[in-house]
A and B are shown apart, each in its own frame.
Chain A
């Protein structure tokens, strides 16, 4: 019985942790019904304050949770490297967190290719973070291809924001 309660609590924590940056798909939110339900707010609760260097909010907002890519490319830019250096540092300090790196593409491409391209971008971020010492066991990669644009116009101003890889934190007691 006690075990079960513990398990339930852990599930709750994980469920909440799954949305430490609910804005990763844009203001509309996304990623399945219920993400963010329950009144969780990125600037309060578990995410903490953006001025607290140990908080996910700091990771998401101060360091930056995402890097952007050139058209059809997966090379990390110098600006991207600066952000990822900060992410790596944060992840090394906060060993209770894992991350899923979500790759995305703009709409100028076919669905299958964009899924693979998003994956390639997410993997480039993973490889960079691992090269900075983050254990690969704490990192997973996935891709949404062109399915979850954050900006919806059909020109480069939006496309440049959509070609991204977002590092989405989740809290996990089971650290490696």
Chain B
């Protein structure tokens, strides 16, 4: 087991030799071994007098975002030989090479009233070239973190060639209270735990919220009626309503289709729990599985043609894939232990899952044919993975054991590296990572 975990400690390999020859700065995320790219981000220039503090906070946020990926390592400002005087000035590449900064991010911030303008440039220090053109973002002081995330996403994308994930939100369950009377509220936050906003109060248990593809709605399971039922909530005005599922005693584990117009979910009736699909516009229901087993946790492929789900039809929880119209399902998990909560990656190539084996829980990934299983984590209780918008990071719930046990959100690379707790004031569980914001 341990060996297996170690074998997946991959990550990225960057084009080291290409640097030496003055080629472009490029970090290719593959299964190689890692040397983080070093970057320097001198404090952004304040172009208007009152922008000083915001400029420095934005700079720190960009540095935190990049370092937080584990793909980049910051060269501390104390090592700098030269400071960047002005945004437009030529860059003294020799000074940045001397402190071994491979990438240099410079920026400038101006403020008029509560209007903020942020611009930045990215340089490949060793080739002495600019990567991409300068970009600027306009917004308000209240939304300054989003501008910092946008800058970070642009830097990340230009160096890795992949989409970013910093300017995204996560819906989750904020928890408080003792273990035998946990209070749960829906909340949203920035991907990094900032800007927490509550969407419900804690008067009834809420479970497993799921963002709509555009991040404007949330499906979740609520005990408001005394029975688990699927609710739909609009993020903007927190209006919520129970959705009309197929007739049944208990509905849960909902997820949106990619167009946001349909819901796939579990419905329990009598002795069985099956998977259904309901069209939110027409209210039409389709039953997708019909077995005496527990079929739950459905997740659609990005093209909408297939559903991965868990079922105990073989005697224990395992992962299966079927057509999104139902019918025969093929089992894809065959390792030791039990597999559950599958989630199809946004790229379509992988399925993240929870695995329970020999008294431990793991978050893992496998190809959609079940091959190349890799366990990324191991603890007393890990569960409920969710993918970053670019499919490179997984956020999940980790719960500690015992009477004082509590849940927290963690993130980990799909390489198994860079395990981090998401800093949130309260205990938290059941994250659903929303899209990159427009």
Residues of A with Cβ closer than 8 Å to B? 25-30, 32-33, 100, 107-113, 115-117, 119-120, 123-124, 127, 140-145, 147-154
Taking a contact as CB atoms under 8 Å apart, the answer to whether B228 and A143 are in contact is: yes
Q: Check B180 for interface membership: any CB of A closer than 8 A.
A: yes
- Inside 8 A of B384's CB, which chain A residues have their CB? 110-111
Q: Check B425 for interface membership: any CB of A closer than 8 A.
A: no
Pick the residue among A28, A123, A153 that contacts B270 (CB under 8 A): A123
Q: Which of B53-90 contact A (CB under 8 A)?
A: none
Pick the residue among A28, A33, A113, A142 that contacts B180 (CB under 8 A): A28
- CA of A27 to CA of B205, assembled, Å: 18
Taking a contact as CB atoms under 8 Å apart, the answer to whether A110 and B340 are in contact is: yes
- Knowing A28-B181, A113-B296 touch, does A147 contact B207 (C-beta < 8 A)? yes
Q: Check B405 for interface membership: any CB of A closer than 8 A.
A: yes
Pick the residue among A108, A109, A154 that contacts B402 (CB under 8 A): A154
Taking a contact as CB atoms under 8 Å apart, the answer to whether A116 and B273 are in contact is: yes
- CA of A26 to CA of B271, assembled, Å: 27
Taking a contact as CB atoms under 8 Å apart, the answer to whether A100 and B226 are in contact is: yes
- Inside 8 A of A144's CB, which chain B residues have their CB? 205, 223
- Knowing A100-B226, A112-B208 touch, does A152 contact B294 (C-beta < 8 A)? no
Pick the residue among A30, A107, A113, A154 that contacts B181 (CB under 8 A): A30
Interface string of B402-431 (1 = CB under 8 A from A): 110100000000000000000000000010
Chain B residue at smallest Cβ distance from A147: B205
Pick the residue among B207, B223, B250, B341 that contacts A119 (CB under 8 A): B250
Sort A-B residue pairs by CB-CB distance and give the 4 closest, nearest first.
Answer: A154-B401, A30-B181, A116-B273, A116-B294
- Knowing A107-B381, A142-B227 touch, does A153 contact B252 (C-beta < 8 A)? no
- CA of A33 to CA of B202, assembled, Å: 9
- Knowing A153-B402, A154-B401 touch, does A142 contact B383 (C-beta < 8 A)? no
Q: How far is the CB of B199 from chain A (nearest CB, A)?
A: 18
Supply 4 further A-B pairs (C-beta < 8 A) apart from A109-B356, A110-B297, A120-B273. Answer: A25-B180, A27-B180, A119-B273, A142-B249
- CA of A113 to CA of B297, assembled, Å: 8
Interface string of B248-269 (1 = CB under 8 A from A): 0110110000000000001010
- CA of A32 to CA of B252, assembled, Å: 19
- CA of A33 to CA of B184, assembled, Å: 12
Taking a contact as CB atoms under 8 Å apart, the answer to whether B383 and A120 are in contact is: no
- Inside 8 A of A111's CB, which chain B residues have their CB? 207-208, 341, 383-384, 430
Q: Check B354 for interface membership: any CB of A closer than 8 A.
A: yes
- CA of A21 to CA of B253, assembled, Å: 29
Taking a contact as CB atoms under 8 Å apart, the answer to whether A112 and B203 are in contact is: no
Taking a contact as CB atoms under 8 Å apart, the answer to whether A115 and B228 are in contact is: yes
Q: How far is the CB of B202 from chain A (nearest CB, A)?
A: 8
- Inside 8 A of B312's CB, which chain A residues have their CB? 113
Q: Which of B173-197 contact A (CB under 8 A)?
A: 178-182
Taking a contact as CB atoms under 8 Å apart, the answer to whether A33 and B250 are in contact is: no
Taking a contact as CB atoms under 8 Å apart, the answer to whether A120 and B180 are in contact is: no
- CA of A2 to CA of B403, assembled, Å: 51
- Inside 8 A of B273's CB, which chain A residues have their CB? 116, 119-120
Q: Check B310 for interface membership: any CB of A closer than 8 A.
A: yes
Taking a contact as CB atoms under 8 Å apart, the answer to whether A152 and B208 are in contact is: no
Contact sample, A vs B, 17 pairs, CB 8 Å cutoff: A28-B178, A28-B180, A100-B226, A110-B354, A111-B430, A112-B208, A112-B252, A112-B310, A115-B250, A116-B273, A117-B294, A119-B249, A119-B268, A142-B249, A144-B205, A152-B179, A152-B403
Pick the residue among A30, A113, A143, A151 that contacts B250 (CB under 8 A): A143
Q: Check B380 for interface membership: any CB of A closer than 8 A.
A: yes
Taking a contact as CB atoms under 8 Å apart, the answer to whether A142 and B226 are in contact is: yes
Taking a contact as CB atoms under 8 Å apart, the answer to whether A110 and B341 are in contact is: yes
Taking a contact as CB atoms under 8 Å apart, the answer to whether B383 and A110 are in contact is: yes
- Inside 8 A of B405's CB, which chain A residues have their CB? 152, 154
- Inside 8 A of B228's CB, which chain A residues have their CB? 115, 142-143
- CA of A116 to CA of B272, assembled, Å: 8
- CA of A33 to CA of B310, assembled, Å: 34
Taking a contact as CB atoms under 8 Å apart, the answer to whether B430 and A26 are in contact is: no
- CA of A126 to CA of B42, assembled, Å: 68
Q: Check B378 for interface membership: any CB of A closer than 8 A.
A: no
Q: How far is the CB of A113 from chain B (nearest CB, A)?
A: 6
- CA of A150 to CA of B228, assembled, Å: 19
Most buried by A among B178, B204, B250, B383: B250
- Inside 8 A of A153's CB, which chain B residues have their CB? 402-403
- Inside 8 A of B182's CB, which chain A residues have their CB? 147
- Inside 8 A of B340's CB, which chain A residues have their CB? 109-110, 112-113
- CA of A172 to CA of B208, assembled, Å: 34
Q: Which of B265-313 contact A (CB under 8 A)?
A: 266, 268, 270-271, 273, 294, 296-297, 310, 312
Taking a contact as CB atoms under 8 Å apart, the answer to whether A113 and B310 are in contact is: yes
Interface string of B314-355 (1 = CB under 8 A from A): 000100000000000000000000001100000000000010
Q: How far is the CB of B11 from chain A (nearest CB, A)?
A: 27
- CA of A124 to CA of B271, assembled, Å: 8
Chain B residue at smallest Cβ distance from A72: B316
Q: How far is the CB of A18 from chain B (nearest CB, A)?
A: 9
- CA of A11 to CA of B317, assembled, Å: 43
Most buried by A among B179, B203, B221: B179
Chain A residue at smallest Cβ distance from B292: A120
Pick the residue among B223, B227, B249, B253 that contacts A112 (CB under 8 A): B253
- Inside 8 A of A32's CB, which chain B residues have their CB? 203-204, 223
